[in-house]
């Protein structure tokens, strides 16, 4: 009852509080504004100082990106991708190469195809794909940007892939510090590919051309997908789709998820506050419509304005200069 009374006193206009919810009192408004500014400061420091300079960048972020990727697959009735240590190493090699040489492209300088990094890590694939991203400060934003691009979305939601590996590296791009993210998808040569062959037989492959390494690839300006010697891989069939070959499938902890989704965490808190304040403001105006308290209404409107402004600002800051390829 005491807890209910506290909520009633804070949010709901009633006779006991003089139809003046405590949430809009001067002290409460100042306290809430201070909390909002503190949360915004945490977001800013985390997103633009801790995140790009953290020594955990290459270990925690890939775990979160893989977890979010699998959430989208689960929502679309697809089996989650297993995290492959070999694919992860291949993705790291590509990310480090882009970071050290200052380019952002599927094809490296010297016409090096994405599949070169698969070979360097020792990943023998039947089917493979690549998504790239740069300058994102939030793991959820990375995957959301890929999902908002039709071709990148096809890679994430492809039923032909069974494994994923994510690599991250910090370097420079166009004269500025940048964080490079590489997402490699694969189906190792040991998986059962009868279904894959049947699917591709019914698919239009207008852009497939062989390169010098004998890999067939279907490429466009945004994404890369490749198939390697499909007909000759039948002898390797028999592995269970979705099994991890050599990596832990440990998902991110709640702390890791919050740490590397700073904009998402700040947005969640701000939206909760907006909902509570909007509800309290509506009750203040309409419960006793003949008794209005302009000062309280102004305080509520001010809080909503600050929260809404920070939501827009955070989106702009987090997505400014970002790019997927």
CA angle 238, 244, 250 (to 5 degrees): 155
Under a CB-based contact definition with an 8 Å cutoff, are residues 188 and 163 in contact? yes
Report residues of the chain scoring pLDDT below 70.
1-4, 50-60, 190-223, 227-252, 254-256, 259, 289-292
The per-residue pLDDT for 98 is 95
> pLDDT tens-digit profile of 136-181?
888 888 999 999 998 899 999 999 999 999 999 989 999 888 889 9
Tokens representing 237 are 């069939």
At a CB cut-off of 8 Å and minimum separation 6, what does 114 contact?
94, 106, 107, 128, 130, 184, 224, 226
Beta strands in 44-92 (DSSP E): 82-83
Cα–Cα distance measured from residue 11 to residue 299, given in angstroms and rounded to the nearest whole number: 13
Quick one: the chain helix, strand, coil %, rounded to 5?
55, 15, 30
- What is the per-residue pLDDT across 200-250, written as a single tens digit (0 to 9) for each? 444 333 233 333 344 555 555 556 777 665 554 443 333 333 333 343 455
Closest CA to 68 of 257, 246, 262: 257
How confident is the model at residue 294, as a pLDDT?
Answer: 85
Bridge partners, 164 (sequence order): 83, 185
Q: 167 exposed, middle or buried (CB, 10 Å; 0-12, 13-18, 19+)?
A: buried
Tokens of 122: 């020792």
**Contact between residue 236 and residue 194 where contact means Cβ atoms under 8 Å apart:** no
Helix pair angle (294-319, 26-45), 10° resolution:
0
Q: Is 44 left (phi over 0), alpha (psi -120 to 50) or beta?
A: alpha
Residue 137: its pLDDT value, please?
Answer: 80
176-188 and 163-173 strand pairing: antiparallel
Those residues whose C-beta lies under 8 Å from the C-beta of residue 65, and which sit 6 or more positions away, are 139, 142, 143, 166, 181, 183
pLDDT of residue 1: 42
pLDDT on residue 240: 31
Strand, helix or coil for residue 316: helix
Taking a C-beta distance cutoff of 8 angstroms, is the pair 139, 69 a contact? no
d(CA 256, CA 294): 43
For 25-36, b/e burial (b = at least 16 CB within 10 A) is beeebeebeeeb
CB–CB of 82/163 below 8 Å? yes
């Amino acid at each position: 009852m005491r807890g209910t009374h506290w909520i009633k006193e804070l949010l709901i206009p009633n006779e006991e509080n003089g139809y003046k919810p405590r949430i809009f009192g001067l002290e409460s408004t100042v306290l809430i504004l201070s909390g909002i500014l503190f949360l915004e400061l945490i977001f800013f420091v985390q997103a633009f100082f801790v995140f790009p300079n953290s020594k955990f960048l290459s270990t925690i972020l890939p775990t979160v990106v893989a977890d979010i990727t699998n959430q989208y697959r689960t929502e679309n009735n697809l089996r989650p991708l297993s995290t492959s240590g070999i694919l992860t190493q291949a993705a790291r090699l590509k990310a480090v190469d882009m970071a050290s040489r200052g380019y952002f492209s599927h094809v490296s300088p010297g016409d090096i195809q994405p599949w070169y990094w698969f070979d360097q890590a020792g990943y023998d694939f039947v089917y493979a794909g690549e998504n790239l991203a740069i300058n994102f400060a939030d793991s959820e934003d990375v995957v959301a940007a890929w999902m908002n691009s039709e071709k990148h979305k096809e890679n994430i939601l492809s039923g032909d892939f069974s494994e994923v590996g994510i690599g991250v590296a910090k370097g420079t791009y166009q004269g500025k510090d940048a964080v490079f993210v590489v997402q490699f998808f694969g189906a190792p040569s040991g998986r059962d590919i009868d279904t894959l062959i049947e699917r591709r037989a019914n698919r239009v492959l207008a852009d497939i051309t062989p390169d010098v390494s004998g890999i067939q690839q279907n490429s466009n300006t945004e994404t890369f997908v490749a198939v390697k010697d499909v007909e000759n891989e039948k002898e390797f069939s028999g592995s269970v789709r979705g099994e991890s070959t050599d990596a832990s499938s440990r998902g991110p902890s709640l702390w890791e998820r919050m740490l590397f989704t700073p904009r998402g965490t700040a947005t969640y808190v701000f939206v909760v506050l907006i909902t509570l304040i909007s509800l309290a403001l509506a009750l203040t105006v309409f419960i006793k419509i003949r008794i209005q308290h302009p000062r309280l209404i102004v305080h509520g409107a001010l809080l909503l304005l600050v929260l809404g402004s920070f939501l827009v600002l955070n989106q702009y800051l987090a997505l400014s200069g970002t790019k997927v390829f």
